[in-house]
Structure 1
Amino acid sequence: MSRSFFPEANRWKRRDVLRTLFFTAGAVGSASWLVGCGGSDSTAAAPTPGIGDMPDGEELPEIADELLGRFADIGPLQDADIHGVRSPQGFATRIVAINSELPQPEGMDASAPQTGGIGNRPWHIFPDGGGVVPRENGGWIYISNSEVPGAGTLGFTFPELAGLSTAIEEFTPGLAQVGTLVFDPDGTIVDSYTILSGTTFNCAGCVTPWNTWLSCEEFPNGQVWECDPYQPGEGLARPTLGFFSHEAIAIDPDERMLYLTEDMPDGRFYRWIPDPSDWPEGSDRAALQSGRLQVLAVRGEGVDAALDGPQAIEWLDVRNPHEPQHENRLPASTVFDGGEGVWFFKGVVYFATKGDDRIWAVDTLSQTIEVIYDRATAVAPNNILSGVDNLFVTSQGDILVAEDGGDMQVVVILPDGTLKPLLQVVGQDASEIAGIAFSPDGRRMYFTSDRGGRNGAGGFTNGLGMVYELILPNTL
């Protein structure tokens, strides 16, 4: 199916090792399954409420009290299955892609690698952030970034070299790409192709309300690229969204704003406000060509006080928006140590910071920020989450957090604040989990082990990346 979406104009953890050697999403609910990053819903029958639908004065704790959570009643994790995944009783897994192998119509099994397959490209290495868009026939497309480092990534690991690495990056095309898996309604894989290439260290991103994919480059001069997931091709750079180590994006479609994280030790949290002509009121999409980039500053009693309760925030226009932001820091802006996943849900923007293992909540109504999970102060049994990374929020209020390291789990933060493990990948301790996304009917959840692979003996271990499908029981 061919269609055009573009306007006419125009861890400190395991990944650091790789960066050095080489010198990186539909909400789920009972009635509304497929929601783009940030909580916009352009395809489902029952749209997720935006901030304009909320009663005046309703804040985060009151919202949480009304939501029960889709995964509130799941049981403990069972023993690992043949694919190396522990999940609650009633769940099952399938492997749908493995690095350097052609995807198979029925998925990959634990036997020897296949020689034939779907598409004209082996699956890319280091799959990271991902998303899903629907097809007109009832199927769907899973979109997957490839987090392959390049010259510019040297400046991520060694910020003092960012200027040199950025200059080299200008003359050395990146090795990252964005690939797709195309599914029929019954889950059969029918195609696979590339929608972006030549970029560097593509980490997470966002499915837009208009069903394009925003892919984020994670290095000091990185950009955001907009891609058409419905056909092979190349994306378009969107420089208005800034030049920095982009990690992820969330979109508030009602207020027409984008929120962006920066994965650096001295990173910031940003929002982008389109010019009126870029995303006119009533328009179904933004052109993403002109707007204001702003950075967050915590006021009140300061960012540390956000552990104890909401603190007032202010948005400041960035300095020199078309230059690398690590060279143009505003002293009044607030540092967030390693920004990771971000998601917009019912007037709240959730985001993770890996440097301090925290989940933050920005209330866009009251313009406040608070910490809703802090590893250092969490008390058992609600302290099982470490290595926070990608985020996904279901339409029932579950916050799914993928771990970079930690126990290689996806952990659910329920609306009442209780934590439960949803799954765990074993035998791949050098990897991380990312790329959480759901099929339009909500029955299948996709995630990556971005450094998993075959062990040569019919099982799986550390490797160059693979994509899993978690099949949910009918009771959920």
Structure 2
Amino acid sequence: MERRTFLRGAVIGSSAAAFAGTLSHGAAHAAPAQPGAGPYGALGAADADGIMLPAGFTSRVLARSGQAVAATSYAWHSAPDGGACFADGAGWIYTSNSEVSPSGGASAIRFDSAGAVTGAYRILSGTRQNCAGGRTPWNTWLSCEEVDRGFVYETDPYGVNASVQRPAMGRFKHEAAAADPVRKVVYLTEDETNGCFYRFVPTTWGNLSSGTLQVLKAGAASSGSFTWADVPDPDGSPTPTRSQVSGSKKFNGGEGCHYANDTVWFTTKGDNRVWQLNLLAGTYELAYDDSLVPGGAAPLTGVDNVTGSSYGDLYVAEDGGSMEICVITPDDVVAPFLRVTGQSSSEITGPAFSPAGNRLYFSSQRGTTGSSTGGITYEVTGPFRR
């Protein structure tokens, strides 16, 4: 069956309309994606920003680390990483983590209805290595620390309420989070070579102060069935959370995570895979694996952050590789969507769509300098499939 059946509609973190979308579901599974022609055609020559895009798309630089954001006086943070968009009246907000230690945290950029920048500000301070994260259905940003026994921080993208540490969500080397409003859980990835995949079940949906941390249990194969087991000690000391439950499935470097319509996808950088969990069937499989592309011609390597569009396309950012964001279509074709040139010592982070779905935000974490102080945050506008 086509993956769009799972994706189209309720795309958490992609568009405001997505939260209300519903579709029926089939029973079959998609096969691992293979290279093919992308939905937007070939990439054109690099533009003035060094971005190669398909015809009809344009880019602009929004922010550079250490410099004022657009028309504001706010200095953008170093090493921009995971991000998400939030509706804000007729406009919207883009949040972005800072993957430095100490003083990582997160910032936000506010836009009006025409896409003009109207403000930028800090939403989280005093934390470490804030890598990826995820948005919640109640419009907060979960910023995750990628350090040993790191925390999840729930932050306010609108800059009104103070951030709150959420220790009940477990202390481990956090990467990304994805909220599932159907099962009322939050999925979590772990960036360890023998990391696990978790879900947090809040005592009360919409309140992350208490609940149960669970870990996925499955066999060693790349597909099969799975179950969930409680983690006895989410604090992770003295025994790490990933070592507490016998039979917990190990994943090689968990990275991005994305939920939509009874399916959750997550990436593992150690083996360049995109995993797919069918939550209705209780099964898992590979949505993409570069080792399964014949002839060594995989267009997507260094898999990292991932997001989805309301149409049903997955957008996967590369950590290294060819510095591309690749699209995986509902009919399981993988192709480059854009390429950042002249920044081979960087990685692409934080892809997220505006609520209307016609603007894609992302960062080059280390930009042209290869340093955390050289980060650049971009916007791409164009005829995205919606």
Taking structure 2 as the reference length, what is the TM-score of the superposition?
A: 0.90
2:17 corresponding residue in structure 1: 44
Question: Which residue of the other structure, out of 76, 100, 106, is the alignment partner of 2:42?
Answer: 76
Structure 2 residue identity aligned to 1:54: S
Q: Could you say which residue in structure 1 is the equivalent of 2:202?
A: 274
The reply to whether residue 317 of structure 1 matches residue 293 of structure 2 is no
Q: CA deviation at 1:382?
A: 6.7
Instruction: Note closer, same or farther for the CA distance 1:463–1:77 as it changes in structure 2 (3 Å cut).
Output: farther
Partner of 1:407: 322
* Counterpart Cα distance in 1 of 2:55 and 2:348: 21
Note if contact 1:269-1:295 (Cα within 8 Å) is conserved in structure 2: yes
Matched, 1:123 2:76: yes
Higher relative helix content: 1
* Cα distance in 2 between the residues matched to 1:140 and 1:256: 25
Structure 2 partner of 1:303:
220
Correspondence for 2:138: 210
Q: Is there any run of 5+ residues in structure 2 with no aligned partner, and where?
A: none
- CA distance, structure 1, for counterparts of residue 384 and residue 351 of structure 2: 20
Residue 148 of structure 1: aligned partner: 100
Change (3 A) 1:408 1:378: same
Q: Decide whether the 8 Å contact of 1:54 with 1:346 is kept in 2.
A: no
User: Per-residue CA shift, 1:27-73, capped at 9, x if unaligned?
Assistant: 9xx996x9434x7x7x4277233xxx534x634439x9xxxxxx953
Give distance in 1, aligned partners of 2:248 and 2:385. 46
Aligned: 1:175 with 2:141: no
- Whichever residue aligns with residue 36 of structure 1, its letter is I
The structure-2 alpha-carbon separation of the partners of 1:394 and 1:195, relative to structure 1 and needing over 3 Å to count, comes to same
Q: Do 1:402 and 1:411's aligned partners in 2 also have CA atoms closer than 8 Å?
A: yes
- Higher strand proportion, which one? 2
Per-residue CA distance 1:432-475 (angstroms, 9 max, x = gap): 0011111122121100001015x7xxxx9995201000011388
CA distance in 2, matches of 1:31, 1:425: 28
Contact 1:36–1:211 (CA<8 Å) still a contact in 2?
no
- In structure 1, the partner of 2:52 is 86
Indicate conservation of the 8 Å contact 2:38/2:336, yes or no. Answer: no
Q: Is the 8 A contact 1:429 1:462 kept in 2?
A: no
CA–CA distance in 1 between the matches of 2:82 and 2:375?
Answer: 12
1:50-449 matched pairs, under 5 angstroms: 54-55=24-25, 58-61=27-30, 72-105=38-71, 118-119=72-73, 121-136=74-89, 138-149=90-101, 174-231=102-159, 234-275=162-203, 278-279=204-205, 286-298=206-218, 302-304=219-221, 306=222, 310-324=223-237, 326=240, 328-379=243-294, 383-449=298-364
1:194/1:233 contact within 8 Å kept: no
Structure 2 CA distance for aligned equivalents of residues 102 and 147 of structure 1: 19
- The superposition leaves residues 173-200 of structure 1 with CA deviations (integer Å, 9 ceiling, x where unpaired) of x310210111111111111110100000
Matched, 1:468 2:383: no
Separation in 2, partners of 1:144, 1:475: 24
Q: CA RMSD, aligned part only?
A: 2.6
Please show how residues 24-35 of structure 1 align to structure 2 within 5 Å: 35=11
4+ runs deviating over 4 angstroms: 460-463
- Higher-Rg structure is 1
Q: Contact between 1:224 and 1:241, CA under 8 Å: does it hold in 2?
A: yes
User: When the two structures are aligned, how many residues end up with a matched partner?
Assistant: 375
Q: Which amino acid aligns with 1:58?
A: A
Change (3 A) 1:184 1:288: same
The whole-number CA distance in structure 1 between the counterparts of 2:385 and 2:228 is 44
Q: Which whole-Å deviations, capped at 9, do the CAs of 1:259-305 have from their partners, x for residues lacking one? A: 10000111100011122xx22xxxxxx1101111111111xxx333x
Q: Return the alpha-carbon distance in structure 2 between the equivalents of residues 184 and 31 of structure 1.
A: 26
Counterpart of 1:146, as a letter, is S
In 1, the alpha carbon distance for the partners of 2:261 and 2:235 equals 31
Mapped contact 1:90–1:472 kept (Cα < 8 A): yes
Say which SS state the counterpart of residue 289 (structure 1) adopts.
strand
TM-score under structure 1 normalisation?
Answer: 0.74
- SS state at 1:198 partner: coil
Letter of the 1:185 counterpart:
S
Q: For residues 134 and 270 of structure 1, do their structure 2 counterparts lie closer, same or farther at Cα, with a shift above 3 Å needed?
A: same
- Please identify, of 318-327 and 199-208, the stretch whose mean Cα deviation from structure 2 is larger: 318-327
Per-residue deviation at 1:312?
1.0
State the alpha-carbon separation in 2 of the partners of residues 474 and 432 from structure 1.
23
**Secondary structure of the corresponding residue to residue 190 of structure 1:** strand
Match of 1:18 in 2: none
CA contact (8 A) 2:326 2:334 kept: yes
Superposed CA offset, 1:88-126 (max 9, x none): 111110000000011123xxxxxxxxxxxx14x310000
Q: Structure 2: which amino acid aligns with 1:364?
A: L
Q: Counterparts of 1:382 and 1:412 in 2: how far apart (Å)?
A: 16
Distance 2:275 2:11 in 1: 21
Deviation at 1:233, TM superposition (A): 5.6
